[in-house]
Amino acid sequence: MKKILLSGLLLFLAMTGLAIAGPPETLTAAYQQFNALFTGEWQQYGQLFTGLQKDLFPRLFLLVITIVPVFFFLHYVAIGPMSFPHDGKQVYCYTLFVRIIHWLAAVSFSLLVLTGLLVIFAKLLGGGSLGIWARIVHLVTAVIFSASVIPMFLFWVREMLPAVHDLKWMLIMGGYLSKEQKAVPAGKFNAGQKMWFWLATIGGAVMAVTGYFLYSHQGNIDTLRLSAIIHNVLGAAMVALFLVHLYMSLAAIKGSLRSMISGYKAEAELKILHPRFKY
């Protein structure tokens, strides 16, 4: 630590001197030396990076797409889906515009997940044109997803801000570990939905930027490696929460899908799952 501080101070003085009088090449070299104190010699991590790309990341994705569904299967068998009467009062929750944007994001993101996995496992699946087609579709759907996530961010951001009761919701896991139907602390969106929202929108933006670097090969080797690491790790987290979102909307809460088609949710469901929602 002392060494770093001392070197930093010396370098700062040297750089100040050079900035006043010295040639720019010396300044660049001095800056690189200073930077190396913190980052080390990044080039030497080439082998480590190749290992991550070839072995660790495919395993990580394989783990996500097997473990998460197994967990949900067990939940479905042990606890079962929540069901609410849908013949009572209905509350209008999602406008037509919100639904159209949601489905644009849903279809493009589903294709992104599918083609992303195909790119990762292309070799295993026989290689050839499959990987190339997957890359092309991945690029096109990334543009559509990026475009749909911007309005989605804007129309939901206020309702998705964290609240104190979200902590309580997380402590009881939203009540999903119990068969009993008891009101949980949540407004229009619960803590789980909020997490998904932030990961899908802000995470989606980071995926778009890192994906751009990977496609365009813009930037130096360090930028490309860092982009690949972020794209893979964040991608795995997004796929995991995407599977959660699918399970919740297709299986865990009966009739949930209908709300994203018609815009209406049953008041009986809101009273239990979103009691703080003022409509």
List 266's β-bridge partners, or say none: 90
- If the CB atoms of residues 135 and 254 are measured against ligand HEM, the closer one turns out to be 254
In angstroms, give the least distance from the CB of 60 to ligand HEM. Answer: 20
Buried b (16+ CB within 10 A) or exposed e, 265-279: bbebbbebbbeebee
List 82's β-bridge partners, or say none: 253
If one asks whether residue 200 binds ligand HEM (CB under 6 A), the answer comes out as: yes
Contact string 119-158 vs ligand HEM (x = CB under 6 A): ------------------------------x--x------
In angstroms, give the least distance from the CB of 188 to ligand HEM. Answer: 9
| The one among 57, 84, 189, 247 contacting ligand HEM by CB under 6 A | 189
Label residue 131 left, alpha or beta by phi (over 0 means left) and psi (-120 to 50 means alpha).
Answer: alpha
List 213's β-bridge partners, or say none: none
Ranges within 35-54 binding ligand HEM (CB under 6 A): none
- If the CB atoms of residues 13 and 114 are measured against ligand HEM, the closer one turns out to be 114
Contact string 86-125 vs ligand HEM (x = CB under 6 A): ----------------x--xx--xx---------------
Buried b (16+ CB within 10 A) or exposed e, 17-38: ebeeeeeeeeeeebeeebeeee
- If the CB atoms of residues 131 and 204 are measured against ligand HEM, the closer one turns out to be 204
- If the CB atoms of residues 64 and 149 are measured against ligand HEM, the closer one turns out to be 149
* Tokens read off for 164: 């104190």
- If the CB atoms of residues 148 and 227 are measured against ligand HEM, the closer one turns out to be 148
Give 3-state DSSP helix, strand, coil % of the chain, rounded to 5: 75, 5, 20
Ranges within 217-276 binding ligand HEM (CB under 6 A): 245-246, 249-250, 256-257, 259-260
* Tokens read off for 267: 């008041």
Count Cβ atoms below 10 Å from residue 253 Cβ, excluding itself. Answer: 19
Helix and strand element counts for the chain (H, E): 12, 2
- If the CB atoms of residues 68 and 152 are measured against ligand HEM, the closer one turns out to be 152
Supply the DSSP symbol for 82: B
In angstroms, give the least distance from the CB of 168 to ligand HEM. Answer: 19
Residues in contact with ligand HEM by the rule CB under 6 A? 102, 105-106, 109-110, 149, 152, 189, 193, 196-197, 200, 245-246, 249-250, 256-257, 259-260
